[in-house]
Amino acid sequence: MTDGRPEALQAWTALCEVVDQVRIALNRDLQRDAGLTLADNLVLCQVAMAPGDRLRMVDIAAVLAIGKSAVTKTVDRLEERGLITRERDSSDRRTVYAALTAEGEKTFAAARPVFAEGVQRHFADQMNEAEIRQLLHLSGRILQQPPEVAIG
Protein backbone atom coordinates (compact mmCIF):
# COMPACT_ATOMS: atom_id res chain seq x y z
CA MET A 1 0.00 0.00 0.00
CA THR A 2 1.51 3.28 -1.07
CA ASP A 3 -1.32 5.68 -0.19
CA GLY A 4 -2.91 3.84 2.72
CA ARG A 5 -5.41 2.00 0.55
CA PRO A 6 -5.15 -1.70 -0.24
CA GLU A 7 -3.38 -2.43 -3.53
CA ALA A 8 -6.48 -4.06 -4.99
CA LEU A 9 -8.43 -0.83 -4.45
CA GLN A 10 -5.59 1.20 -5.94
CA ALA A 11 -5.52 -1.10 -8.98
CA TRP A 12 -9.30 -0.82 -9.40
CA THR A 13 -9.17 2.97 -9.16
CA ALA A 14 -6.30 3.16 -11.64
CA LEU A 15 -8.14 0.88 -14.09
CA CYS A 16 -11.23 3.10 -13.91
CA GLU A 17 -9.09 6.20 -14.51
CA VAL A 18 -7.40 4.57 -17.52
CA VAL A 19 -10.76 3.63 -19.05
CA ASP A 20 -12.13 7.14 -18.43
CA GLN A 21 -9.02 8.81 -19.87
CA VAL A 22 -9.01 6.65 -23.01
CA ARG A 23 -12.76 7.07 -23.54
CA ILE A 24 -12.39 10.87 -23.31
CA ALA A 25 -9.51 10.82 -25.82
CA LEU A 26 -11.42 8.53 -28.20
CA ASN A 27 -14.50 10.74 -27.95
CA ARG A 28 -12.38 13.79 -28.82
CA ASP A 29 -10.72 12.01 -31.78
CA LEU A 30 -14.03 10.73 -33.15
CA GLN A 31 -15.73 14.11 -32.85
CA ARG A 32 -12.83 15.86 -34.54
CA ASP A 33 -12.12 13.35 -37.32
CA ALA A 34 -15.41 11.53 -37.93
CA GLY A 35 -18.14 13.85 -36.63
CA LEU A 36 -19.36 11.22 -34.14
CA THR A 37 -19.32 10.93 -30.39
CA LEU A 38 -17.95 7.76 -28.83
CA ALA A 39 -21.54 6.82 -27.91
CA ASP A 40 -22.64 7.35 -31.54
CA ASN A 41 -19.80 5.17 -32.77
CA LEU A 42 -20.51 2.38 -30.28
CA VAL A 43 -24.20 2.25 -31.24
CA LEU A 44 -23.37 2.29 -34.97
CA CYS A 45 -20.84 -0.49 -34.37
CA GLN A 46 -23.34 -2.74 -32.58
CA VAL A 47 -25.98 -2.20 -35.27
CA ALA A 48 -23.45 -2.73 -38.09
CA MET A 49 -22.31 -6.03 -36.55
CA ALA A 50 -25.86 -7.34 -36.11
CA PRO A 51 -27.48 -9.65 -38.68
CA GLY A 52 -29.22 -7.57 -41.31
CA ASP A 53 -27.61 -4.38 -39.97
CA ARG A 54 -30.38 -3.98 -37.41
CA LEU A 55 -30.61 -4.56 -33.68
CA ARG A 56 -33.36 -4.23 -31.10
CA MET A 57 -33.02 -1.08 -29.01
CA VAL A 58 -33.18 -3.12 -25.79
CA ASP A 59 -30.28 -5.29 -27.04
CA ILE A 60 -28.15 -2.23 -27.75
CA ALA A 61 -28.68 -1.11 -24.17
CA ALA A 62 -27.79 -4.56 -22.83
CA VAL A 63 -24.65 -5.02 -24.94
CA LEU A 64 -23.33 -1.55 -24.14
CA ALA A 65 -24.46 -1.77 -20.49
CA ILE A 66 -26.22 1.59 -20.68
CA GLY A 67 -29.76 2.70 -19.92
CA LYS A 68 -32.56 2.52 -22.45
CA SER A 69 -32.96 6.31 -22.28
CA ALA A 70 -29.30 6.80 -23.23
CA VAL A 71 -29.80 4.50 -26.23
CA THR A 72 -32.96 6.39 -27.20
CA LYS A 73 -31.17 9.76 -27.08
CA THR A 74 -28.21 8.45 -29.10
CA VAL A 75 -30.46 6.80 -31.69
CA ASP A 76 -32.50 10.04 -31.88
CA ARG A 77 -29.30 11.92 -32.81
CA LEU A 78 -28.25 9.29 -35.32
CA GLU A 79 -31.73 9.18 -36.84
CA GLU A 80 -31.78 12.99 -37.23
CA ARG A 81 -28.54 12.68 -39.20
CA GLY A 82 -29.94 9.91 -41.41
CA LEU A 83 -27.50 7.29 -40.10
CA ILE A 84 -30.08 5.02 -38.47
CA THR A 85 -33.79 4.43 -38.90
CA ARG A 86 -36.21 2.92 -36.42
CA GLU A 87 -38.19 -0.11 -37.55
CA ARG A 88 -41.09 -1.79 -35.74
CA ASP A 89 -41.31 -5.56 -35.61
CA SER A 90 -44.30 -6.65 -37.72
CA SER A 91 -45.16 -9.48 -35.30
CA ASP A 92 -44.72 -7.43 -32.10
CA ARG A 93 -45.29 -3.69 -32.47
CA ARG A 94 -43.70 -3.07 -29.05
CA THR A 95 -40.32 -4.17 -30.39
CA VAL A 96 -38.27 -1.42 -32.03
CA TYR A 97 -35.13 -2.04 -34.07
CA ALA A 98 -32.40 0.42 -34.93
CA ALA A 99 -31.37 -0.18 -38.55
CA LEU A 100 -28.28 1.13 -40.30
CA THR A 101 -28.86 3.28 -43.38
CA ALA A 102 -26.51 3.46 -46.37
CA GLU A 103 -25.26 6.79 -45.02
CA GLY A 104 -24.78 5.18 -41.61
CA GLU A 105 -22.67 2.44 -43.20
CA LYS A 106 -20.46 5.04 -44.90
CA THR A 107 -20.11 7.11 -41.73
CA PHE A 108 -19.27 4.07 -39.62
CA ALA A 109 -16.75 2.85 -42.21
CA ALA A 110 -15.03 6.25 -42.08
CA ALA A 111 -15.01 6.23 -38.26
CA ARG A 112 -13.53 2.72 -37.87
CA PRO A 113 -9.91 3.69 -38.63
CA VAL A 114 -10.21 6.78 -36.41
CA PHE A 115 -11.36 4.56 -33.54
CA ALA A 116 -8.71 1.88 -34.17
CA GLU A 117 -5.90 4.43 -34.42
CA GLY A 118 -7.13 6.14 -31.26
CA VAL A 119 -7.17 2.87 -29.31
CA GLN A 120 -3.66 2.18 -30.54
CA ARG A 121 -2.34 5.66 -29.69
CA HIS A 122 -4.09 6.25 -26.37
CA PHE A 123 -4.00 2.69 -25.04
CA ALA A 124 -1.94 0.04 -26.79
CA ASP A 125 1.12 2.20 -27.45
CA GLN A 126 1.53 2.58 -23.68
CA MET A 127 2.34 -1.14 -23.32
CA ASN A 128 4.51 -3.75 -24.98
CA GLU A 129 3.04 -6.87 -26.60
CA ALA A 130 3.63 -9.06 -23.53
CA GLU A 131 1.85 -6.54 -21.30
CA ILE A 132 -1.10 -6.39 -23.72
CA ARG A 133 -1.35 -10.20 -23.71
CA GLN A 134 -1.15 -10.22 -19.89
CA LEU A 135 -3.88 -7.57 -19.61
CA LEU A 136 -6.04 -9.52 -22.06
CA HIS A 137 -5.51 -12.70 -20.04
CA LEU A 138 -6.34 -11.03 -16.72
CA SER A 139 -9.37 -9.25 -18.14
CA GLY A 140 -10.66 -12.51 -19.58
CA ARG A 141 -10.29 -14.23 -16.24
CA ILE A 142 -12.24 -11.48 -14.46
CA LEU A 143 -14.92 -11.43 -17.15
CA GLN A 144 -15.44 -15.21 -16.85
CA GLN A 145 -16.83 -14.72 -13.35
CA PRO A 146 -20.63 -14.77 -13.39
CA PRO A 147 -22.15 -11.42 -12.44
CA GLU A 148 -23.93 -11.29 -9.14
CA VAL A 149 -27.66 -10.90 -9.53
CA ALA A 150 -29.28 -8.18 -7.47
CA ILE A 151 -32.21 -9.32 -5.39
CA GLY A 152 -35.14 -7.04 -4.70
Domain ranges in the chain?
Answer: 8-143
pLDDT of residue 1: 52
pLDDT of residue 2: 64
pLDDT of residue 152: 55
Q: What is the pTM of this model?
A: 0.86
pLDDT of residue 91: 85
Indicate the CATH number of 8-143 among 1.20.810.10, 1.10.10.10, 3.40.470.10, 3.40.50.300. 1.10.10.10
> What are the backbone angles phi and psi of residue 123, rounded to the nearest 5°?
-125, -70
Order the strands of the 84-88 sheet from edge to edge.
54-56, 96-100, 84-88
pLDDT of residue 62: 93
Can you give the pLDDT of all 152 residues of the chain as single tens digits?
Answer: 567 889 999 999 999 999 999 999 999 999 999 999 999 999 999 999 999 999 999 999 999 999 999 999 999 999 999 999 999 988 887 889 999 999 999 999 999 999 999 999 999 999 999 999 999 999 999 889 877 765 65
> What does each C-alpha distance from 89 to 80, 98, 114, 147 come to in angstroms?
21, 11, 33, 31
Please tell me the distance from the alpha carbon of residue 7 to that of residue 12, in angstroms, as a whole number.
8
